[in-house]
Amino acid sequence: MDDSKKCELIIVVVKKGFSEKVIKAAQSAGAKGSTIIKGRGSSVHETNKILGVPIEPEKEIILIVVLRKDVDAILKEIIDKADLNKPGVGVGFVLDVERTIGLYDNND
């Protein structure tokens, strides 16, 4: 696989209900698809308690495999349109992908 076809995995973890903003932003910048995983978590920004018991807020984890050349544009769009730069909204990061299977581009 040549370098132009190398992929990276964008992972974004947001509060429940925010994944749609992330997905729409990513698609508008060229992402072809995504996967949403439900999760639970906590952070310093979420310290709500009920009867003294900490609440573990529901999260949505968005996985987006994209070509390396598209990562910066997609991240910028996610940050801008999903307000990921505001405290407590979510967190995102990028991991290198060593190999991919099942990804097809109509332009190949």
pTM: 0.81
List the structure tokens of 97. Answer: 């992908």
Task: Enumerate the domain spans of the chain.
Answer: 3-95
DSSP, collapsed to helix, strand or coil, labels residue 24 as helix
Q: What is the mean pLDDT of residues 20-31?
A: 96
Q: Which fold has domain 3-95?
A: Alpha-Beta Plaits (3.30.70)
User: What does the pLDDT read at residue 92?
Assistant: 94
d(CA 84, CA 102): 29
Confidence of residue 85 (pLDDT cuts 50, 70, 90): confident
Please check whether residue 85 is in contact with residue 92, taking contact to mean a CB–CB distance below 8 angstroms.
no
Say if residue 1's pLDDT is above 50: no
